[in-house]
Amino acid sequence: MSAGDGRRVLRVGTRRSPLAMIQTELFMQAVLAKEPSLEFEVVGITTTAERQPTTPIPDLGQGVFVKEIQIALANGEIDFAVHSLKDLPTRLPPGHTLAGVMPRNDPRDVLVSRDGQLLNELPAGARVGTGSIRRAAQVLAHRPDLEIVLLRGNVDTRVRKVTGEGREIEAEAAVLAAVGLQRLGMDDVITEFLEPDVMLPAVGQGAIGIECLETNVQACAVAALTEERDHRIAAEAERSFLRAVGGFCRTPLACYATVQGGSLSVEAMAATPDGTVVLRESITTDASTESEEIGKRLLDSLYARGAGDFIILDDEPTADDD
């Protein structure tokens, strides 16, 4: 498609959820702030996760939030695929590249509880909803007396399943990503921010990743306009941990990296699904350190402490819920 003056309109592929559309708008705004002459068309795509809204995320397999968007990209139907970076597998299809990592927003998880109770205040047996095995394991590590229940759906849907607005209550609390609620203007429902020492975030949580075809030179250059170097370094360090693991079978994993003054700090976690074993390892190194070396060092340290007993290789880790 071309604009009226002959310029090509750039097509941006995204999921159809309200949050995904907001993130796509943030990408386009960031580009237009630097190249105001560009024109975009948004292409909404339904993914496996939307088509099977009641199936647990781990049962759906790899790439459930991105696969159909990647197919559209490969077929030339779109120029950009806009993802929540935590949803994007670390091994991309041949010819695809992570062309842009936008500056990260709040990476933390939050608790939304119906009665305003903090995680440590919930009564024994209270139901805590999530579709993420990472979140479930860390909740149980702190509160083994709580019950984890499956919550699926868009962010506002999961919140309503806790608050009971117009529907049956399914949980007394839920754990969600802070950034999703913030981008949707739903900050007021947040009961408690769960700091990384309680709930280590998912790889890439809080960041928006832009996937392009390597051969689409224009798209790659446009996506790069949205980048900030330190955020790319942190993202690559986190993603290197998952690449180092190289496989997955319902194993809760997390990794969180920050860059300050040329120094890169990275912490990784592996846990049993019931939260009875939670292993963490961290390293601080120069920000120029090769990311693949970082991932391998973290994994080797976790294996040395026994993580190999419960990290069972199968396929790459599946995404968290939104």
Percent composition of the chain: helix, strand, coil (DSSP 3-state, to 5): 35, 25, 45
CA–CA separation, 262 and 60 (whole Å): 39
Q: Is the dihedral of CA 33, 38, 39, 44 positive or negative?
A: negative
| H-helix or E-strand spanning residue 273 | none
Catalytic residue among 5, 59, 87, 145: 87
Are the C-beta atoms of residues 237 and 244 closer than 8 Å to each other?
A: no
**CB atoms near residue 141 (< 10 Å):** 19
CA–CA separation, 162 and 111 (whole Å): 11
Q: Which residues contact 39 (CB under 8 A, 6 or more apart)?
A: 3, 7, 9, 10
User: What's the token pair of residue 188?
Assistant: 């007021």
Reply yes or no on whether 87 is catalytic.
yes
> If you write DSSP's letter for every residue of 158-205 in order, what string do you get?
HHHHHH-TTS----SEEEEEHHHHHHTT-GGG--EEE-TTTSPPPTTT
CA–CA separation, 240 and 296 (whole Å): 8
Burial track 161-183 (b if 16+ CB lie within 10 A, e otherwise): bbeeeeeeebbbbbbbbbbbbeb
- Give which of 267, 45, 82, 87 is closest to 177, Cα–Cα: 87
**Residue type at 301?**
S
The DSSP output letter for 9 is P
Active site (catalytic) residues: 87
